[in-house]
A and B are shown apart, each in its own frame.
Chain A
Amino acid sequence: MGVAAVGPAVAAAVCLACGSEGGPMGDSLIDISNVTKVYTTGDVQLRALDGVSLQVDHGEFIAVMGSSGSGKSTLMNIVGCLDRPTTGSYHLAGKDVSRLSRAELAETRNVFLGFVFQQFNLLARTSAAENVELPLIYGGIGSKERRKRAVAALEQVGLGNRLEHNPNQLSGGQQQRVAIARAIVNRPKVILADEPTGALDSRTSIEVMAVFQDLWRSGITIVLVTHEPDVAEFASRVVNMRDGHVLTDRTQQPKIAVPGASAENLKASAEPPKGPGAGAAA
């Protein structure tokens, strides 16, 4: 089942760091072209991204890896329309979003993107259903429709029986699934997950990754940022970053996340780096 979905991802694997900057890349969902991001603190200039190009097609499950300081978080912020590139262009679903105002970026996030964070970032003392409704409120959806869609989203992540629970009444894995429900409730084009398993134990991590794989199979594009190779195993494509550059970019046969599998199982099967698309380095 997971295998079937790998097809388009493999086909979409485009070499990026080859540096052939320039024209829009047709109908890529995410098209980042020669993007730099420079932070200036005092006299010191830090090039967090140094000419990164990346195309992601519909239906890909891409993991961006790298150690801290590699620029993966900065890339994530730009892809997530939380930040704007210093130079270069970013087209999301064919639309240039690299020079939008703060309000326009907010609307873009609301319509096209869903976020999942390491620390879950749910509103405290607010029920699961209301947390999931949040993007719909800013999207101007009426309250009945909001409720209906929030319930559907929570059922999709297996929390249909936890609608009125507050975050502090839920386990870490459940909280992260609420966050995923919130990310998908607005039917976004892309889900951006920033270290979504970073605060979870390995068993719960697999559960959460299984949810992501389900979403991926249903056609949602997922961009995952992680520094854990184990987690990247579940993606169909892995991009490695270092010092603001894309180091390697390869497609792979994703490992199937089986909920309930033990941590040892995860470690064991993660050891041999197998998969057809391995090794498409720059």
Chain B
Amino acid sequence: MNPVQTLRVALRAIFRNKIRAFLTTLGIVIGVAAVIAMMAIGAGAKARVAEAFAAMGTNLLIIQPGSTSTSGVQGGFGSMPTLTWDDYVAIRDEVSTVKAAAPSLRSNLPVISDEQNWTTSVTGTSPDYFEIRNWPIALGAAFTQVDIESGTKVIVLGQTVVDKLYGPSADPVGQSVRIGSIPFQVVGVAAKKGQSATGQDYDDAAFIPYSTFASKVQGGLSKYLRGTIMVAATSADTTSKAQSDITALLRDRHHVPTGGDDDFQIRNLSEIAGAQQQGTDTMTTLLASVAAVSLAVGGIGIMNIMLVSVTERTREIGIRMAVGAKPNHILSQFLIEALSLSVAGGLIGVAWGVGVATYLAARFKWPMLIQPDVITVSVGFSALVGIVFGMYPAWKASKLDPIDALRYE
């Protein structure tokens, strides 16, 4: 008896009890669908986290000035300005792994239009800032290097600020706003960027040239840069290299002795992103384990129904044995029946899982990520479940005594 015939006999037996077969496979179906959907959701969430960090700016390093230490009380990073404007220029021009650098001087200030006012985070920076943060300008244009050099009073508004001051879908380019009493001309509106991973609204912000910020907000351009420097490395792979290059450069420029503490801090956002990704991975593993347990439960369902099937078909087994079926024939017949059930369940489960994942991806605007290996593994696993849980009933069938089996009522 070849495998094709065995399969045909098994399928026939299954199709005789369609509803029962369906209910039996339902455990596997749900298990596999859950695995596929969970993995897709996990992958989608992971991609979303990655997207959120990409929105913050890829390959981003943030350099903060160092801390003061007066009478043993350490003031924390940023409490003392140790970064100079020359440091910024050196980082921008001398480090080969740095693609772009921009100062970021920040203060919460009221921005006032003719009708409304709104207190927002005003950042003094250079045009490179928008490139570093991957942040295109939706309306108008960013200020330019010329604006920096001449300290022009121009401003780029975030979308939230535009909404608050002018209402949604207004075009404020060319209008005038005041920060305090100083009038600024709106030259551009930054594209909507949404929320950060921690829920902060990126669009609640306004940007002016750093020279203007230093002179008008910070009361004059000094030697020290009273803010942070944002740096984009040339690629994701060179981010760590850029970090160490900048550390070496700044230690050298600040004459920090060997073994002495840095008087600045560099935050590497890709590390934070990595930690976030790990959290997502753990969640995915957890969900997938729960789904795997339901697959095992599905296997028990198959075993149960196969035992019923063997009992119901005792006489058939007797007939087959009488006309020459060997124990192995009977074993493989019932094993293949269990296997067919579980693999069919697996395939239906894949279809369901893909459907659920597609729906959720569309619903939450996630990228649709279904890895082919997850499908292969879950169908393979359901086949394994069929073999493991089908083995005992099949073995039981093959051990039947043909005489007893033929007499079975």
Contact = CB atoms under 8 A, between A and B. Distances in A.
A137 B5 CA distance: 8
A139 B324 contact: yes
Given A83-B403, A140-B1, A121 B319 contact: yes
A182 B319 CA distance: 11
Contact of A121 (B2, B315, B326): B315
Contacts of B321: 106, 109
Interface string B311-333: 00001101111111111110000
B403 A110 contact: no
A102 B323 contact: no
A135 B323 contact: yes
A247 to B, nearest CB: 24
Contacts of B151: none
Nearest to B5: A137
B315 A106 contact: no
Contacts of A138: 1, 320, 323-326, 329
Contacts of A125: 16
Contacts of A122: 319
Interface in B307-355: 315-316, 318-329
Interface residues of A, number: 25
Given A123-B319, A137-B1, A138-B1, A106 B324 contact: yes
B402 interface: yes
B328 to A, nearest CB: 7
A281 B323 CA distance: 34
Q: Is the interface of B mostly helix, strand, loop or mixed?
A: helix
A103 interface: yes
B406 interface: yes
A117 interface: yes
Q: How large is the interface on B (under 10, 10 to 19, 20 to 34, 35 or more residues)?
A: 20 to 34
Contacts of B402: 82
Given A121-B315, A125-B16, A110 B324 contact: yes
A109 B402 CA distance: 12
Given A103-B328, A137-B1, A82 B323 contact: no
A117 B319 CA distance: 10
A107 B16 contact: no
Contacts of A186: 323-324
B403 A106 contact: no
A109 B323 CA distance: 6
Contacts of B316: 123
Interface string A80-99: 10110000000000000000
Contacts of B1: 137-138, 140
B108 to A, nearest CB: 81
A115 interface: yes
Nearest to A183: B323
A256 interface: no
B327 A110 contact: no
A22 B206 CA distance: 113
A109 B403 CA distance: 13
A77 interface: yes
A92 B402 CA distance: 19
A270 interface: no
B406 A109 contact: no
Interface string A124-163: 0100000000110111100000000000000000000000
Given A77-B403, A137-B5, A138-B1, A109 B319 contact: no
Given A77-B403, A82-B403, A121-B315, A109 B322 contact: yes
A31 to B, nearest CB: 22
Q: Which of A115, A122, A138 has the most CB of B within 10 A?
A: A138
A147 B322 CA distance: 20
A135 B329 CA distance: 12
Given A117-B406, A140-B1, A82 B322 contact: yes
B408 to A, nearest CB: 11
A196 B80 CA distance: 107
A161 to B, nearest CB: 24
B406 A106 contact: no
Contacts of B318: 121
B14 to A, nearest CB: 13
B320 A134 contact: yes
Contacts of A110: 323-324
A82 B407 CA distance: 12
A115 B323 contact: yes
Q: Which of A77, A123, A137, A186 has the most CB of B within 10 A?
A: A137
A123 B319 CA distance: 8
Contacts of B329: 106, 138
A122 B322 CA distance: 12
Contacts of B325: 106, 138
Nearest to B16: A125
A47 to B, nearest CB: 17
A182 B320 CA distance: 12
A279 B109 CA distance: 127
Interface string A107-123: 10111000101000111
Nearest to B318: A121
16 contacts: A77-B403, A80-B322, A82-B322, A102-B326, A103-B326, A107-B326, A110-B323, A121-B406, A122-B319, A123-B319, A135-B323, A138-B320, A138-B323, A138-B326, A182-B323, A186-B323
Interface of B: 1-2, 5, 16, 315-316, 318-329, 402-403, 406
Q: Ordered nearest first, which 7 A-B pairs have the shortest CB separation?
A: A110-B324, A138-B324, A135-B323, A106-B326, A103-B326, A121-B319, A82-B402
Given A117-B406, A121-B315, 13 more contacts: A77-B403, A82-B402, A102-B327, A106-B321, A106-B329, A111-B324, A115-B323, A121-B406, A123-B316, A134-B320, A135-B323, A138-B326, A140-B2
Interface of A: 77, 80, 82-83, 102-103, 106-107, 109-111, 115, 117, 121-123, 125, 134-135, 137-140, 182, 186
